[in-house]
Amino acid sequence: MAVRKKAARRRSKREPLSASARRKFMDLIESGDPSKCWDWQGSVMRGDYPVFYGDGKQMPAARILYRLYYKNYLGSDWVIRHSCNSNLCMNPNHIYADKRSDASKETQIARRQETIGENHPQAQLKTEDVKRIRRLVNEGVPQKTLAKEYGVSKAHISNIVHRKTWTHI
């Protein structure tokens, strides 16, 4: 007589974690006020991205949280965004799914706005300097003179005057 092994219950694709892993996952979230961020107490990857080691594999914690609370499986073309802009936040009220292409465009725009003009880490001039340079060149002051005055190259002054750089002003 053949011995039949008891079939192990398999999780469906909709269930991101086993019951024991789910308990461990939830224990790593410091929950509290629903309007405030809930801190992740588990492992973090480079760039402050929370990860969870459960059921024998490493998974992004925000994706697990999204699947647990919203019961929705997301493909690889989707990313989890945080309305609070904190990757370490695990409050389900602060997360939402976004198309990877849309999220990438938004991130690029935000970075450009943060690092434009005098906010750029390599900026040598201030906004007022650029306005003054353009005004003085229009009044006939040589670009070479202005380059010496501001400690930049003549090419840099030329790019400012011809609006190849500092185009937002």
Per-residue pLDDT of the chain (169 residues; tens, 9 = 90+): 555 554 445 555 557 789 999 999 999 999 889 889 999 999 999 878 899 998 989 999 999 999 998 887 788 888 888 888 888 999 999 998 888 776 666 665 565 555 677 877 778 899 999 999 999 999 999 999 999 999 999 999 999 999 988 888 8
Output the six-digit token pair for 89: 């936040």
Number of domains in the chain: 2
41 and 79 fall within a common domain = yes
What is the reported pTM? 0.54
30 and 84 fall within a common domain = yes
Query: Quick one: how far is CA 97 from the chain centroid?
Result: 13
137 and 65 fall within a common domain = no
60 and 133 fall within a common domain = no
89 and 133 fall within a common domain = no
Helix axes of 143-150 and 127-138: crossing angle, nearest 10 degrees: 160
Q: What range defines the domain where residue 92 resides?
A: 19-102
Helices (H), the chain: 19-27, 61-70, 100-114, 127-138, 143-150, 154-161
